[in-house]
Amino acid sequence: MEAFRKAVETVQVRAGAPCLIDSEWQGGGDRPLLDVIAPHSEELLLQYREATHEDVDRAVAAARRAFDHGPWPRMEPAERSAALKRVARLLSERLPELAEVWTGQVGAVIGFTRKASGQVPGLFDFYADMIQDYPFVEQRTRSSGSAVRVVSEPVGVCAAITPWNAPLVLLCYKVAAGLAAGCTFVVKPSPETPIDAHILADCIIQAGLPAGVFNMVTGGRAIGDYLVRHPGVDKVSFTGSTVAGKAIAGACAERLTRFSLELGGKSAALILDDADLSSVLPSLVPYSMPITGQVCFSLTRVLVPASRYDEVLDGYVDAVRKVRLGDPFDDQTQMGPLTLKRQRDRVESYVAIGQKEGARLVTGGGRPAEHNRGWYFEPTVFADVTPEMTIAQEEIFGPVVSFLRYDDEASLVEQANATSYGLHGAIYSVDPERAFSLARRIRSGSIALNGMAVDIEMPFGGFKQSGIGREGGREGLENYLEIKSVYMA
Ligand code: NAD
Mean pLDDT score, 83-111: 98
Q: Note the pLDDT of residue 154.
A: 98
Q: What is the CA radius of gyration of the chain?
A: 23
The CA distances from residue 144 to 147, 485, 489, in Å, are 9, 16, 10
Specify the pLDDT at position 43. 97
218 near 240, Cβ under 8 Å?
no
Q: Is the pLDDT of residue 451 over 90?
A: no
What amino acid is encoded at 306 in this protein? Answer: A
Best substitution site from 295, 296, 394 to test ligand 1's pocket, by max atoms within 8 Å of Cβ?
A: 296
Residues contacting 277, CB < 8 A, separation 6+: 311, 312, 315
Residue 489: the pLDDT is 76
Taking CA atoms only, the protein residue closest to ligand 1 atom 36 is 240
pLDDT digits (tens, 9 = 90+) for 324-346: 999 999 999 999 999 999 999 99
User: What pLDDT is recorded for position 454?
Assistant: 83
Question: Which pLDDT value is given to residue 367?
Answer: 98
190 close to ligand 1 (CB < 6 Angstrom): yes
CB 261 within 8 A of CB 467: yes
pTM beyond 0.85, yes or no: yes
Which residue has its alpha carbon closest to ligand 1 atom 35? 240
User: Residue range 245-274: average pLDDT?
Assistant: 98
* Residue 458 confidence class, pLDDT cut points 50, 70, 90: very high
CATH code for the part of the protein at 2-263+467-488: 3.40.605.10
Task: Please identify, by atom number, the ligand 1 atom nearest to the C-alpha of residue 264.
Answer: 34
| Same fold? 2-263+467-488, 267-456 | no
Tell whether the model's pLDDT for residue 28 goes beyond 90.
no
Half-sphere exposure of 55 (CA within 13 A, CB side): 28
Task: State the pairing for strand pair 425-428/267-271.
Answer: parallel
The model's pLDDT over 186-197, given as tens digits with 9 standing for 90+, comes to 999 999 999 999
Measured in Å, residue 397 CA sits from the centre of ligand 1 at 12
The mean pLDDT value for 353-362 works out to 98
- Tell which residue, 438, 434, 429, 391, has the closest CA to residue 410: 438
Q: Residue of the nearest CA to atom 40 in ligand 1?
A: 262
Q: Does ligand 1 lie within 6 Å of residue 224's CB atom?
A: yes
- Is the minimum distance from the CB of 248 to ligand 1 under 6 angstroms? yes
Q: How many CB atoms lie within 10 A of CB 5?
A: 11
- Looking at residue 341, what is its pLDDT? 98
Residue 453 has pLDDT above 80, yes or no: no
Q: Where are the alpha helices (DSSP H) in 117-258?
A: 119-130, 167-181, 195-206, 221-228, 242-255
Mean pLDDT across 381-398: 98
The burial class, CB within 10 Å (0-12 / 13-18 / 19+), for 9 is exposed
CB of 476 shorter than 6 A to ligand 1: no
Domain ranges of the chain: 2-263+467-488, 267-456
Q: Is the pLDDT of residue 96 over 90?
A: yes
Fold of 267-456: Aldehyde Dehydrogenase; Chain A, domain 2 (3.40.309)
Does the beta carbon of 239 sit less than 6 angstroms from any atom of ligand 1?
yes
The pLDDT assigned to 32 comes to 83
CA of 291 to the centre of ligand 1 (A): 16
Please determine, for residue 452, whether its predicted confidence score (pLDDT) is greater than 90: no
Backbone angles phi, psi at 67, to 5 degrees: -80, -45
CB within 8 Å of 53: residues ≥ 6 apart = 223, 226
In the chain, how many H helices and how many E strands? Answer: 17, 20
Nearest CA to ligand 1 atom 22: 221
pLDDT tens for 176-185 read: 999 999 999 9
Identity of the amino acid at 67: F
* Least confident piece of the model among 31-35, 40-44, 286-290: 31-35
User: For ligand 1, is residue 240 a contact (CB within 6 Å)?
Assistant: yes
Catalytic residue ranges: 262, 296
Determine the pLDDT at residue 219: 96
Question: Which CA distances in Å does 183 have to 65, 209, 224?
Answer: 12, 12, 19
Q: Is 51 in the pocket of ligand 1 (CB under 6 A)?
A: no
Predicted confidence at residue 371, as pLDDT, reads 96
Q: What is the phi/psi pair of residue 26, to 5°?
A: -160, -175
pLDDT band at 31 (very low <50, low <70, confident <90, very high): confident
